[in-house]
Structure formats: structure tokens, C-alpha cells
Structure 1
Amino acid sequence: MVGHIKGGLGYVVIISGLIFAGLSGSAVADTAALGAILIPMMVARKYDVARSTGLICAAGIISVVIPPSIPMIVYGITAGASITKLFMGGMVPGFLMVIGLWLVWKYLYRNEEQTVEPKQTAQERWAAFKAAFLPLLLPVIIIIGLRGGIFTPTEAGVVAAIYAAVISVILKGLTLDKIQDVFLGTIKTTAMVMFVAAAAMISAFAVTVAQIPMELVEFIKGITDSPTILMFVIMLFLLLVGCVMDLIPAVLIFVPVLLPLLRAYNIDIAYFGIMMVINLSIGLITPPVGTVLYVGSGIAKIGIARLTKGIYPFLLVYAVILLLLTLFPGIIIVPMNWLS
């Protein structure tokens, strides 16, 4: 579709990031999958390796915004927010991130010269569409099922797992060894999340007993009555948190502290959850603890300092989107309420 355009592989990264986001929900998994396939191709066609890897990392974090997002599920459980609303509300910001990456990449490569692919024929495009059709139905099934009230978010996970397994068998991509790897990976991921959740619950309990959230509410109330100013302050704070803490632990630790503030200022907790996930996802591609950044660095075999130079244009566009969503919450709230 876009391989014949100047900088075409960059657009392939962005589109693939959007598609993978609807299938995975994990930024690290998406970045690893995209990087392993596309970084060697981009290097072979003389794309700048730092900039290309930066784009792949930036596209990888779209998966935590567009459903089915693992961090949004964690936030929904922690805050008692509707996971369906979180999923539906993440769609518009996710597409804004895609558009932002597209425009930045187009600007960066407006005068560059790379080897481009020959334009596909209609028959080749149709063959590619048929091959991808069944897997691409997965996010559609999840969204329609949640929107139509056919199943709950928990049931959506079961439906998605069964559908993915059946399609893998049909496409002959599932072997006994792969099934074993899938189960082991699930066990490890679940154990890690549960361990972090247990530790975070202890921290949250200690904070609650010390009445820190209520004292924080009284302190902030004495400074400003504006929900917008409060959101600015919290977003700046979370940007700093995201630089030194991974996304899910940050959600588990800080949501119980911030919830009383949100209620005191009548801020929609589903809207805030989406903003929090977007904000902390930026931390995944920001030094010094950017998990996704290290995944991209390892695949491309370049240093973090060099990769950071390649990723900063995409960080800037994400910061602009975050500012826009803070100033105009209706961009999230209106479609979220309509879709859910």
C-alpha cells in the first residue's frame, strides 16, 4: 500500500503499529515484533537507524492506548472505572497518535532518498488483504462485542483468546512448542503483574491509613479550584514519574492517591485513566528507565543516547497531543460516552 512512497517503510511501521495495537495490548511485545521485522529492512534500504528505531518505539506504545490495552485494564480494576469506557475512550487519542507520527515522519523524510518498493498491483493487494483478513477481525470483534453489550471485558479476553487460537490453527501457525511458550509466557507475565500489584496494594494501604490523599486534597484546594490547572499539575508530575518508573507499577501506586483529588474536582475517572496511560506510556520511550527504548536499542544494536536523538521528534508530537487532550477533554469524553 505505501511501500512505493518516499519514506514508505516508515508508514508501514505506523500502520503496523496500529494493527498490532488492536491485537496485543503490550507495548514491549509490539515493539519487539515490529523491530525484529522492520529494522533490518529499513537499514538495508539506507534509512537512518536511530530515527527508524525511534519511530518503531513510538509506534509500539500505541498498543497501550488502543484497545485491548493491558494498562487500561489494570487502571480500570484499580480505580473502579468502566473498562469498556476506557477502551472506547482510547480510540480517538490512539488515532491522533497515529496521525501525529505520520505527519512528523512525512516532514522528516520530505527530502530524503531511499530505495522504494515497486507499487503493488490490485491482485497483490487483494491477496495480502485475504491473508490478513481473519487476524484483523480480532479487534473488530472485541470492539463490537463491548459496544453492543454482547460480552463483558473479562469475557472479551476469553473470546479473543479462543478466536486467536482457532485462527492460528486454521493458518497453521500454532504448534505444540508454541502452545507451551504461550502458556509459559502467560504464567510469567501474570506472576509479575500480581507480584507488583501485591506490593502496590501494601503501599496504597499505608498511604491511605496515613490519610495522605485527604491531606493532598485539602492542600490543592487551598491553591486552585480549577480542574484544568489540577490536570496540568498532575500531568507534569506523571511525566516525571514515567521517566523513572514503569507504567503498570505507577498506575497501581498512584491511582489510590489521586482518586480523592479527581472526585473532589469532579474529573471523570475514565477520562483521567486514559490521560494517565497516555502520559505514562511516553515514559516507556524516555530515558533513563524507558522499557520500550531498551527493547528498540537491543534490536537495533545502538546506544540509548543515539536512539534518544532519533526519538525526540516523536516525543514532541506526543507531548503536543497530551497538551491538546488536557486543554480539550471533550476530545476523549464525547466519543467515549457515545461509543460506550
Structure 2
Amino acid sequence: MSAGLVILGIILLLALRVPVGFAILGPSVLYMISTDQSTGLSLRTAAQEVNSFPLLAVPLFILVGVIANHTGIADRIFAFAQVLLGRVRGSLGYVNIGVSVGFSWMSGTALADVAALGKMQVPAMTRRGYPRRFALGLSAASSLISPVMPPSIPAIIYASVAAVSTAALFAAAVVPAFLIAGGLAVAVYVWARRKPDLAGHRAAPGEFRTAFLQVLGPLGAPAILLGGILSGLFTPTEAAAVGVAYVAVLGFCYRRLNLRALGRIVVDTATTAASIAVILAASGLLGWILARERVPQDIASFLLDFTDNPIVFLLLVNIALILIGTVLEPIAALVITVPVLLPIAVQFGVDPVHFGIITIVNLMIGLLTPPIGGVLFVLGSATRTPMHEVFRGTAPFMIPLLLVLALLTVAPDLVLFLPNMLGL
């Protein structure tokens, strides 16, 4: 049984809507059996993939996002952004982006962002006269800020797989995340400049002060999480634990958290973390199979024969990863593709941290494209909208996202500036 048959089997199972972890695990185990490899080796290989200290941060950051969602922190950020940008034409478009930036400091995943914010933002925008497709598309696109901005769960997984510093990757992700937000803001400006009916309203006296006081607590989260990591005070895993304690205290102070709610929060977190662990373990076994079949070496040989230009290589990688992201869940795609592509990137002289940011942004764009399109499904479910309608609204916002990706590809200094400045 060859690696090609394993990949074909995975694609067929994914087409049949088999959960990603099991779609990868089934053909991989069949390969091990057909090549007379022991079951013990299969279990050890899969277990080693999740036996990593940095990966302990993943369930903790998921817990931070779930608590923030349950305690109404997103509502407070939304109210503050509305007051701050109320008079600007197309204000709710900028509010949509600003809330995603604010919530991204706590959620770490696009699905958490769109689940928490989509059902609040889309109705608010449609009530104010914004086209539904525009509201859906912007909400979907802005959710990609969360998995790029630290604390990014894909960044933690990439750092673990690629053996690079999580703190360096977090620092490198800050500028790209703000570039994504800026690109979407430009798209909103271009769309809204000929729509005078979407002008906002001045906030009432005292409203700004009230909204600011309500959001003061949540604003402490990014200072603790990112400040602690970049200053060297915490490791990412320790910062995640401190972040859990901080948002839990906020929840109790806001009287939105109790023992019954904690039970639901723990179940939600465990379910999400367990599904990621299964995908990581299965992908680790598949990675072992690909290495045994010398797939990385074959791909490297082909690419090195095709071009010796690192920009051309990265453009080819962009195309490949976007296509992979349309059919494979991002976490699985990270664990499978990074061990194959990163050594080739290093041969081309590409910095591993720069390559990590490009990889993450590529695969996150895949969350907005059918047939997998996880963000599309979650937003459609939250707003009771068919997936094709969500995609039609999202399609125009792919332009600024792809332009930002192209800029990050050809200008590595945008990515590496901050970690180099901090000495990471």
C-alpha cells in the first residue's frame, strides 16, 4: 500500500463526511497493517504527536475563549466599539472588524470568533440597513484575525511541529493580524463611501465613559497574555493558565459565571480540545508514513528542479496550501504539510517563522472556501443562513485577504520585524 493510496483513501473518506481525525487515521492504520508494522508502533507514533509541553497551551487557550464567550465579554467589546466609531460612515463595518481584533486576544480560533460574534453582529448590521450578504461576508472574513493574532492556536501547533519558538511566532503574527484588519477596513471604506445613508450617530453624553469602564476589564487580557509572553515573564502555556484565571475572575465579577455555567464551559472545552488531539495524533501517524515513503524528498527534488527562486517557491506553496485548505481541516493540514514543506523552505533560505505565518494565513483562508469551509458552516448555523449565501457574501472579501497574503509573502521583514526587535 503506497502513500498515494493512503491520500486517496483520506480524500474519499472526507468526501463521505467522515470526521477528519478518523478519515486520516483509518487509511493510515491500514497502511501500517499492510506493511507489517506493529500496532504498538502506530500507537506510539500517534501518542508522541500530542505528548508535547507547548501543546498544553491549546486546551487552556480554548478555555479562555469559551469563558470569554459565556461571560458576555464580546458584548462589552461590541458596545464600546459602537460608541467609539458611531459617527463614522459605515461604522458597523469597522465595529465588526474592531470587535474581532479585540476578541482575538482571547479566542485564538476563527470558529470561536464567528460563533461568538456572528449571531450578534449580522442582525445588528441588517437592522441598520446593511445588506445581509455584506454583513455575513465581513463577519466571516474578520473572524480570520483570531487564528493569526496571538494567542493563536494554529501558531502553537505550528511551533510544536516545526520546533520554533512560540513566543517568536506570536510576535511575528501581530503585524500580519493588523494588516488583515487594515485590508478589511479599506474594503469597508471603498464599499461605504457612496452610501451616505449608513452614516452613524453621535454617542449620548456619558455613554463613552460607561462603555469604556465596561470594557476596561477585558482590555487587561491582551496585556497579560501577550505582554507576559513577549516580556519573558510567562511561557505561552503559563500565560494560558494565567489567562484562564483572569477571565474566570472577570466572569464571576460580572455575575455571568457560576458552577452550572462552569460545567457547560468545561464540556465545550473538552470536546473541542479532544477533537484537536485526535486530529493531531492521526496526522502525526500520517506524517510518519509520508516520511517513510520519502514523499518530502520527492517533493523537494521536484521543486528544486522546477525553480531556485524563493519567491516562486512561496507562490507555489501559497497555491498548494489554499487548495489543501479547501478540503482539509487547518489543524490536520498544518501537522501534515509542515514536516513536508518546511525543510524545503529552509533549503530555499526562507525563515521558519516567516514560513509559519504564511502557512497559517493560507490555511485560514481555506476556512472561507467550500467544501470544508468551517467558518461558513458555523456562521450559517449561527445566523440560520444557507452556506452558499454565506460564501457569496464572503467572496468579495477574499480580495483583501489574498492581497495581504501576497504582501506577507514578498516582504518577510513585515513578519520578522517585531520578533527581531524583541530578540526572539
TM-score interval w.r.t. the shorter chain? over 0.9
Show the 5 A alignment for 1:65-80: 65-80=148-163
The letter of the residue matching 1:7 is G
Cα distance in 1, alignment partners of residues 185 and 203 from structure 2: 21
C-alpha displacement of 1:153: 0.9
C-alpha displacement of 1:263: 2.4
C-alpha displacement of 1:296: 1.7
Show the 5 A alignment for 1:262-277: 262-277=345-360
Q: Which residue, 196, 206, 221 being the options, matches 2:304?
A: 221
Greater shift, 277-286 or 221-230, is seen at 221-230
Q: Does 1:163 align with 2:219?
A: no
Query: Percent same amino acid among aligned pairs?
Result: 34
Flag structure 1 segments of 5+ consecutive residues without an equivalent: none
The letter of the residue matching 2:90 is G
Instruction: Name the larger-Rg structure.
Output: 2
Partner of 2:59: none
C-alpha displacement of 1:6: 2.1
Flag structure 2 segments of 5+ consecutive residues without an equivalent: 1-83
Partner of 1:27: 110
Partner of 2:10: none
Q: Which residue, 409, 415, 424 being the options, matches 1:332?
A: 415
The letter of the residue matching 1:28 is L
Cα distance in 2, alignment partners of residues 173 and 67 from structure 1: 25
Q: TM-score, normalization: structure 2? A: 0.77
- Residue 67 of structure 1 aligns to a residue whose secondary structure is coil
- Residue 23 of structure 1 aligns to a residue whose secondary structure is helix
Aligned CA RMSD, in angstroms, stands at 1.5
Following TM superposition, where does structure 1 have runs of at least 4 consecutive aligned residues deviating by more than 6 angstroms? none
Cα distance in 2, alignment partners of residues 194 and 309 from structure 1: 33
Partner of 2:333: 250
Greater shift, 327-336 or 49-58, is seen at 327-336
- Residue 315 of structure 2 aligns to a residue whose secondary structure is helix
The letter of the residue matching 1:198 is A
Counterpart contact for 2:148–2:173, Cα < 8 Å? yes
- Residue 106 of structure 2 aligns to a residue whose secondary structure is coil
C-alpha displacement of 1:122: 5.5
Cα distance in 1, alignment partners of residues 362 and 331 from structure 2: 12
Show the 5 A alignment for 1:101-180: 101-112=184-195, 114=197, 117-121=200-204, 123-180=206-263
The letter of the residue matching 1:17 is S
C-alpha displacement of 1:116: 5.3
Q: Does 1:3 align with 2:86?
A: yes
Greater shift, 130-139 or 222-231, is seen at 222-231
The letter of the residue matching 1:87 is F
Partner of 2:61: none
Q: Does 1:200 align with 2:280?
A: no
- Residue 330 of structure 1 aligns to a residue whose secondary structure is helix
C-alpha displacement of 1:327: 1.1
Partner of 2:403: 320
- Residue 120 of structure 1 aligns to a residue whose secondary structure is coil
Partner of 1:91: 174
Counterpart contact for 2:119–2:379, Cα < 8 Å? no
C-alpha displacement of 1:115: 5.9
The letter of the residue matching 1:47 is Y
- Residue 259 of structure 1 aligns to a residue whose secondary structure is helix
Q: TM-score, normalization: structure 1? A: 0.96
Kindly tell me the number of residue pairs found equivalent between the two proteins. Answer: 340
